[in-house]
Each structure stands twice: as C-alpha cells, then as structure tokens.
Chain A
Amino acid sequence: MSRSPRGWKTVARISAAGALVSALGAGLFAAGRLESGSADPPGTRDRFELTATFRPDPNAVELPLDYDNYAYSDRFTFARIRFEPPRYRRGPFYWGLDLKWNHDYPWGEENFTRILGEYTSLTLNEGGGDIYSLNEAALFKRPFAYLCEVGFWDPSDQEAENLRAWLLKGGFLVVDDFVQSRALENFLFQMERVLPGYTAVELDVSHPVFDSFFHIETLDFEHIGRPDLVPVYYGFFENNDPDQRLMVIANYNHDIGDYWEWSGNAYWPVDLTNEAFKLGVNYVIYGMIH
C-alpha cells in the first residue's frame, strides 16, 4: 500500500475512497481477529519475530502548523501523534482546523499533565505536550504517546513500520476517542499493518494497567456525549501474549481526552472526569514501568 506524492487538496478524494475500501476490508478481517480477554493456554500463541526500521517517509505531507515541542531532557513529556487527516476542513479545534488528531489539543494535555505532576512523583513537563508525526525520529525519545480519532487514521507503509519499531522497542501507545464499529474496524485494520499477526485483546479490570497507580474498581464508564455506547478497552501485547507487556491500549467508545480538556470548566460531571484522569495517570505509570 504505497502512496504517491500528492497535494493536500487532493487528499480528501483519494483518502475517502481509500477509507471505504479499508473499512470493507477491515470488517471482514476484524470478524476473525477480535478476541475476548480470556487467555489461551500457554504455548498455543505464536511468537512474532517482526523487524522494523525507522525511516522518514519521503512522500509524507505535513501541514505547517505552529507549535513548539519541549527540548529533550530528564523530564517525562506527553506526546501526541499527528497524522494526515482524510480531509482538510475547518472546525472548532486548535488552529481552527479539524485535523482529527488535534481533538482536545492543547487543553487535554495541559490539564492532564498538571494532574500527573500533582499526584505522582514524576519529573515532567507540566502544562502541555509535544506533537510528533510517525516520520519523526524525535518520537523515539518519547516512549509514551497518545493517538486519537483513529477512525480516520491511515498511516503510510513507512509510518506503520515506524510505529512498529517504536512499539517493539518499548513504546507505549494510548489510543483514544473513537466510537462505533467503522472506526474500530479501521483501527484494527491499520493495526494489522502496524503489527501483522497481532491480536487485539479485550481487557478487563483485573489487568495491572488498571491498578498501576489508582485502583480502578470498574470499567463501566459512560462515553462523554453518548451514554448509549459501552466503552471497551483493547490491548496489544508484546509477542501477542497477554501475560507480557501491554504495548497499546485503545479506549474504544470512550474519550478520556475530552474529559481532560473540559475538566477546568465543569462541563462534564466531576466523578467521570476523575475517572478519566485516573485512567490517564495509570496508563502513564504503567507505560513507564512495563
């Protein structure tokens, strides 16, 4: 699935067609790949010997946006992954653009890193975070990253390989803010490109990620604007083995970033906001230890 150079304006048309194809393919694929959280007997899983090499994709097109990343130091820094959105349009988001990956930016990480600094002993850059594309080598100095709106995510082959390298080397990815089956199907389809042969495993509350800092009693949250949706937490594990390191956690039918973003103005109920912060803190602590 290689891409040819193209201008930003033409992306919408090509990508829309691509997304449809992707969604169809993903639907077929996902049916066979989804798995519940129960573990297989030991020894039945395959070991995946994947290789990956980081290289910037020469064909990548990145919209010039105005933001500053923190200089590398001894501090933990929240990193948001940017990607080429399927279409370019205006929206009530930062820079006045709906780029999908910029939902909740920058207030989400501003509030979240303050909470993280307040509650934990982390030495970190408080009050904001970095933005990296999967084409940037500097992402590999930030082993924790946040990716949202993956229903619209369509990385290039090289970007997929770069993410694979980042994950297999030790990166921890939080995927957030995607709802309904089409988004899930796209996410799973793209993850199959990132980690071929790996399976998304539904997590239950007994997983250590839910006990790494705060003890989370239940995973029965409400989606921020859609109480009808039931959040599900999918995980991708090292060597495809649920007993090993969790590399990716995906909050399906959930949007903890939105709770973080609006926590300052009481837009959402406090207890739900608390839970969203607790999840975020747990993800960071888990990702920094495992």
Chain B
Amino acid sequence: MFLSAFEWLLGSPPVAFERGQIELLVPWGVFWIAAAVAGALVFALLGYRRLGRRLGRRGRLLLGAARFAAIALVLLCLLRPQLVLSLVVPQENVVGVLLDDSRSMQIADGEEGRPRSEALLAAFPDEAAAGHGEAPLGDLLREKFVTRLFRFSDDTRRVARASELGFTGARTDLLGSLTRVADELASLPVAGIVLVSDGADTVAGGREDDLDQTLLDLRTRGIRVYPVAVGRPEFEADLELGTPDVPARVLRGSLLEIRLPLRATGLAGRTARVEVLDEGRIIATETVRLASDSVETTVTLLAPAEEPGARRLRFRVAPFSGEVLTRNNEQSVLTEVDDRPLRLLYFEGQPRWELKFLRRAVAGDPELHVSCLIRTAEGKFYRVDVADAGELAGGFPDTREELFAYDGVLLGSVEASFFSQGQLNMLRDFVSQRGGGLLTLGGTSSFSEGGYRDTPLAEVLPLTLPAVATTPAGAGDPPVPAAFRELRVLPTRAGSLHPVARLDPDPLVNEDRYRNLPPLSGVNRSGQPKPGATVLLEGLGPTEEPEPVLLVQRFGRGRSASLTVQDLWVWQMDASVPLEDETHEVLSRRLLRWLASDAPRRLEVSASPAKSLVGERVTLRARVEDERFLAVNDALVEAEVTGPDGVISGVPLRWTGQGDGEYSGIYVPGGPGTHQVEIRAAGAGLQEGSEAPRAATLFEAGVVDDEFFDAEADPGLLARIAEATGGRLFEPDEAEALLTDLSLAESGTTVVERRELWNVPAVFLLLFGLLAADWGVRHARGLP
C-alpha cells in the first residue's frame, strides 16, 4: 500500500531511488542558483513586511516560509531534476532461478493445508498462464530475462521446468547451491539470482563463518540474491524430537542414558509420552509435560541395553491433533551394545567387609571382571578373582602397561604412603590420559585420613580433602573413631536422574526406596564437592547438614567417583533389608559399569556422518594407541566395511598428520542400509595377546530425514542472504515488485534511463499545499 502510493507520488518505486542517481538537467552554476534562492527569500519576506503588525512575528515567519518554499519548488522544477537509472536490457540478461527441491517443501503448512511446493509450482508454471490477475513470477521473469532454472537440495542441477522437481531431497544446502549457481553463471551477464525456498537449511546450520564468507563472496561478484520465502516461520502446533544424545557404546546389562531434546510449539501444558523402541519392542517410556512455546526441554531416559551388537533405537511420541508435521515426532539413533567384560582392579589396604560384599554383588554380572588385591598384612597380599597366575603377582601394578590394562580402579582403605610417587602419578594418568575410571571408597585410611591431601590423586578426586592429622589406626585407638557418624543416605535431584543412583524411574518412589534403607556410616572428615562434580547421593548425619556420599566427575579423558561411606555393605547385610532386596547389588554393578564403561580402548573407530546419504562420503576415523596408551603414528590400519548386502570392501586408513594416533579414510556407500565397519591395526607394541587389536562401529546410509527437523520456514536466514548480497526478500505474491528490483540491476547488460521528476504528482501536490496554506492563513486573518 505504502509502496504503491510512493510509486504514484514520485513516479518510481523506492528501490529506484535507492539504486538510481538524481541529476539536474539545466546546468546552472552555483552562483546563479544561490542568487535565485536569495531573491526568492527577499521577495517572500518583503511581501509580508507591510502586514507585520496584523500578523505578529510568528505569522509573518510562517507565511514567509510557505511562500519561499513555493518559489523554491518552482525554481527546482525549472532546473529539471531527473532520476538516472540503469535498467537491464530485456532478454539480454540472465536470471538464475534456484528452486528448493528438498523434502521439507512437502510440508503442508500453507493455506488450507497446501504444501510449500504448491506455492513454488504456482510461481513457475510450465505453460505461460493465460488467466487474469497477476502473472506468475516465472512468466514475468521469462518476459524480461533469460532464465536458468536449477533445482537444489544437497546438490544442484539444471532443470528445464519446475515440474521436474520431486521434492525428495534429503538435505537443503542453501549456501553450497548459491555458490555453485554463481560459478556456473560466472561468464554470463547476471541480473541476479532468484531463490525460491523455505530457508530451512540443514547443512549450514551453526556454520556462521561459512555463511558470512559465502555471502561476502557473492557480494563481491556483484550477484544480488532475491529470495522468495515459502512456508510458515512457525507451526501452529508441533512437537519435534531433537537429536538424541546416546553413548556410542554401552555395556550389555547397563542402563543406557539417553538425553532427548523436545521442542514444542502451541502445545504448552499438554503431556507427551516418549517411547524408546529397540526392534519394535518398547524398552523405556517417559511422560513429560510440555513447556511453553519453542522452549527446548531435555528428557532423560534410562533404557536397558540387553541385546548385544549394533542397535537402532527409535524414539517416538504419538502425534497431537492439529500437528502439521508428524514426521518429526520420530527419531532414531545407532548405538552399540558391547558384551566385552570390563576389567577392574580393586585394591584394599586391609581385609574389609566392603570388599567381600562388593565381590559378591558383581559376581553375577558377566560384564564385570573385578580382580581383587588385598593387603592382609604388612608386605603380604591376597589375590582373588585374578585372570591368571601372573596377574597382580607383583602386588599393585608399577608399570603403565600393567595398570592401563584395566578399565577401572577401586581404591579402598589404603594409605597414600603405600604407593610410590610414580604409582600415584600413574594412577592420575590412568584417569586423565588413559581414560579409565577411579572409584575411591571411604575408610580408616582413605581420603584425608589416608594422607591423600597433597598427592597427585587429590586433584583427581571429585571432592576437596580437608586437613586432618593422619595417624594410622592402631591398637591404642578408641573403638570408635572421632569422625565416625551414621548417615541417612538420600539421592539428590541429579542422583534421581543418574543411571547409577536411580533405583526407580519415579523420583518420589526412588527417594522412598532410599529412605527405607538403613543408615550407613562414615569415618572420614567430609570434603566439599569440587565445582565440576555431581553429587548423586548425600547423607544426613547428626548435624542434619547434608554431606556428599556418592559423587562423580570427569577428569581428563576418564571418570572419577568417590563413595565416602565405609559400609555400603550394610545395605546388603542389615537385618532390616529383606534377603531378596537387590539394592546393594544393583548400585554396586551400576557404579562399576558407569565408572569403567567409558574407558577408551587402545583402538577406537568412528564413522561420520553416522547417518549418510547413498553416495555421500563417509569418513572413517581411527585412534590407535599402544599398550601404554601412547598414540602410534606408524601403524598399518585397515577398515573392512560390510554393506547390508554382505559385500565387504577394504578401506585403508592413513595417519592424518594432524593429531597423534589419528587415522582416517573415506568410504562411499553404494546402497541404503546399515554398514558394519571393522578395523584392525598392526604395528610395534600393538599386539593384544597374540592378536592384532580390532574395533568396530557402524553407520547407516540412505535414512537421512533431517528435512523434517527444524523444518519451519526460516525467512530470517533468507532475509540475511538478501541483505548481505544487496537483494531483497519477497513473498510469492510480490512477483511484480521482484521484477522491478531485478530490472534495476547494476550488473549484466544495462541501458541508462532518465526519468523527469518535475512532473510527478508529489511536486504538484506540494506546491498546491503551500499556496493553499498561504491563502488560507491570509483569508482567516482578513488580509488581502
């Protein structure tokens, strides 16, 4: 409305004034112009001098200004101002038309449930439209320009007509497509690029630098982009499952911790039931109340990992009524359920009930192998559950090879002075470099009381160690140590959601289960959780001040956990705990599994993207370390990729030269389905027993459904592209305006057009208005 009024008043659209230049046709010198203006001013003021008394000072000035403005306007018109425009020569310029061919164009969020693609096809009909009303954009463009049509999704291809589009592209690569089209049209006179899309880019997301660089590049080449936005920027009602965060590998029998982001629009207050399916079987559910619009909520799900091997987990929420897009109510993710037992070492400085009951708790767990070493007397050790006669025969390991063979280490009640400085450093490196898990247990000779305060292990622990006097316990000590206190143990909020401490999915039931357990006890002065630590269980002692009982943190590549009580075994043995109660077993197993299951192996492999397109390059990456977990750069690494059809292809992996021990290779899947990848590494120091180490992963080809996620139209991105390249964003029904914009090109083949400005309606109206004001005032005051 405003734009058309502007065009009527000034004879040209605003864009013409933006791009064009205003020149005066009559070349008067500055002196003459100044003299004429001064004359007009004098004439205007003198004319009212005689009437000064009757008008007053203000009236005289007002009338003088109006007369002066009227005379100045006439003077300006006599100078013949002109708008000089550079207009494209019809049919001599090329317009690249990029049509979005991705699947998100199928989304039916238009009027009366019409898909986005319909707006696109209506704008670019195959045959010239014969009907009345505004001509489609395609026809208008063809009248004035040579048009080159391209379809694009993850790639870009020339098409003869828009009806060739199938809207099946699995991705939308806006920037890549723009660059490719700009390259292709580089040798031609290009008036601009018209980009018809919903703007829901699935490739550039998050790559701000790339976006800025590409846009800058287009601008330097003088290519303006005119996006035509289709689709709605926000759905009326929609629930979208984000990408689930799932560990790449989980130990069989463990609880798989899944974090699933949920984004809901127009469904605030409704409840959604999230289901996790493994091979069609529901393995976990969680009900969540949806937050207010477009706020992302993360749902934490714990699902049992029972079947070994590669698992494709599916997530779904039943569609709500009125949801435009239901495809984004489903997600899937790949994970590997591992049945290789974890190896842990439990070292106790003295025989303790804690060890006996922990051994019994994990005895039934085939995935946990805990070798125990107990100092039964000074210099005397007892080994139990060792794999062979040689294991731990020399006592606590004093080489990296021996210690790093374990995935986790448990330290019981053993004073720091038992270890050499080298062993303490090695234990720290075991966590930070090797990526193993360390669990420290409360006891007479643990934590501060064990003299760990100023050792390298203090930095690994998830809690600070208070200063205490350390005297080893002896016969003269009182029967109950000074720091002994009973602790009623309860889960924290974080604990209720953590795979170790969550005994029941319902937080209230979970807390009740802990409430019903007997109190435990501590003999160590309580430390404070470190900033990066998470407290899962806390204890209330006689002071009713909560103190951390079970806390965890990451340290370097590994994990560190502390259980500050000295008698978790009471939860197994106490008279009030029913014989069939499994709390102690479940907690112990989960804690040890959690501790060690993330420990990297000496050979690790990954494939990215884990969900690829058929024909897309999949990068296989491997990390190779020797038995001391030091990176190896000269290994012979080879991957075998087994396709869904059973065909095996070999892919050599080469050292990247960028990171120590990092190798990569490229594989291009030829068909859809799950691909198994197995790699082997050979070289010095790499043997695991008699065999070369192996590792496996998998990826899936041809199942990319990114287009239905984050699928709302993104006019923001399109507007940014337009602004950065000097173009403008249009709606599909603004074909004429788009054409005008395009016609005023600075690039391509153009002619100069001069438009007179003295005869536009605005000048006449302004002059009329000034004279009318002058006359009106005089009439009102009764002046001549």
Q: Is B521 an interface residue (CB 8 A)?
A: yes
> B480 — nearest CB in chain A belongs to which residue?
A73
Contact with A along B570-604 (1 / 0, CB 8 A): 10111111111000000000000000000000000
Contact with A along B340-382 (1 / 0, CB 8 A): 0000000001111101110110000000000010111110101
Contact with A along B113-124 (1 / 0, CB 8 A): 000000000000
Per the 8 Å Cβ criterion, residues 210-238 of B in contact with A are none
Q: Is A170 an interface residue (CB 8 A)?
A: yes
Q: Is A181 an interface residue (CB 8 A)?
A: no
In the complex the two chains form, what is the Cα distance from A290 to B351 in whole Å?
10
Residue picked from A70, A123, A212, A290, most chain B C-beta under 10 Å:
A123
- Interface pair A74/B443, CB less than 8 Å apart: yes
Q: Is B444 an interface residue (CB 8 A)?
A: yes
Per the 8 Å Cβ criterion, residues 80-127 of A in contact with B are 117, 119-123, 125-126
Given contacts A74-B481, A213-B376, whether A141 and B350 have CB atoms under 8 Å apart is: no
> B375 — nearest CB in chain A belongs to which residue?
A121
In the complex the two chains form, what is the Cα distance from A287 to B473 in whole Å?
22
B residues apposed to A, CB below 8 Å: 349-353, 355-357, 359-360, 372, 374-378, 380, 382, 384, 413, 443-444, 473, 475, 479-481, 484, 521, 523, 566-567, 569-570, 572-580
In the complex the two chains form, what is the Cα distance from A284 to B579 in whole Å?
23
Given contacts A170-B356, A288-B353, whether A51 and B473 have CB atoms under 8 Å apart is: no
A138 partner residues in chain B, CB cutoff 8 A: 575
Instruction: Pick the residue among A51, A72, A170, A288 that contacts B580 (CB under 8 A).
Output: A51
Q: Is A219 an interface residue (CB 8 A)?
A: no
CB distance from B474 to the nearest CB of A (A): 9
- Interface pair A122/B574, CB less than 8 Å apart: no
A75 partner residues in chain B, CB cutoff 8 A: 479
- Interface pair B356/A123, CB less than 8 Å apart: no
CB distance from A213 to the nearest CB of B (A): 6
- Interface pair A170/B376, CB less than 8 Å apart: no
A123 partner residues in chain B, CB cutoff 8 A: 350, 413, 444, 473
Instruction: Pick the residue among B377, B484, B574, B575 that contacts A74 (CB under 8 A).
Output: B484
> B522 — nearest CB in chain A belongs to which residue?
A74
- Interface pair B579/A165, CB less than 8 Å apart: yes
- Interface pair B376/A137, CB less than 8 Å apart: no
Contact with B along A144-184 (1 / 0, CB 8 A): 00000000000000000000010011110000000000000
- Interface pair B382/A289, CB less than 8 Å apart: yes
> A284 — nearest CB in chain B belongs to which residue?
B351
> B475 — nearest CB in chain A belongs to which residue?
A126
- Interface pair B579/A121, CB less than 8 Å apart: no
Residue picked from A125, A137, A141, A290, most chain B C-beta under 10 Å:
A141
- Interface pair B351/A288, CB less than 8 Å apart: yes
- Interface pair A122/B384, CB less than 8 Å apart: no
B357 partner residues in chain A, CB cutoff 8 A: 170
In the complex the two chains form, what is the Cα distance from A123 to B573 in whole Å?
20
- Interface pair A53/B578, CB less than 8 Å apart: yes
CB distance from B349 to the nearest CB of A (A): 7
A213 partner residues in chain B, CB cutoff 8 A: 376-377, 380, 382
Q: Is A33 an interface residue (CB 8 A)?
A: no
- Interface pair A70/B579, CB less than 8 Å apart: no
- Interface pair A170/B573, CB less than 8 Å apart: yes
In the complex the two chains form, what is the Cα distance from A139 to B570 in whole Å?
12
- Interface pair A51/B576, CB less than 8 Å apart: no
Residue picked from B357, B479, B484, B566, most chain A C-beta under 10 Å:
B479
B443 partner residues in chain A, CB cutoff 8 A: 74
In the complex the two chains form, what is the Cα distance from A140 to B484 in whole Å?
19
In the complex the two chains form, what is the Cα distance from A51 to B581 in whole Å?
11
Instruction: Pick the residue among A140, A168, A170 that contacts B575 (CB under 8 A).
Output: A140
Q: Is A229 an interface residue (CB 8 A)?
A: no
Q: Is A52 an interface residue (CB 8 A)?
A: yes
In the complex the two chains form, what is the Cα distance from A72 to B519 in whole Å?
12
Q: Is A54 an interface residue (CB 8 A)?
A: yes
Given contacts A121-B349, A165-B579, A245-B360, whether A289 and B355 have CB atoms under 8 Å apart is: yes
Given contacts A74-B566, A121-B349, A122-B350, whether A143 and B382 have CB atoms under 8 Å apart is: no
- Interface pair A290/B356, CB less than 8 Å apart: yes
CB distance from A124 to the nearest CB of B (A): 9
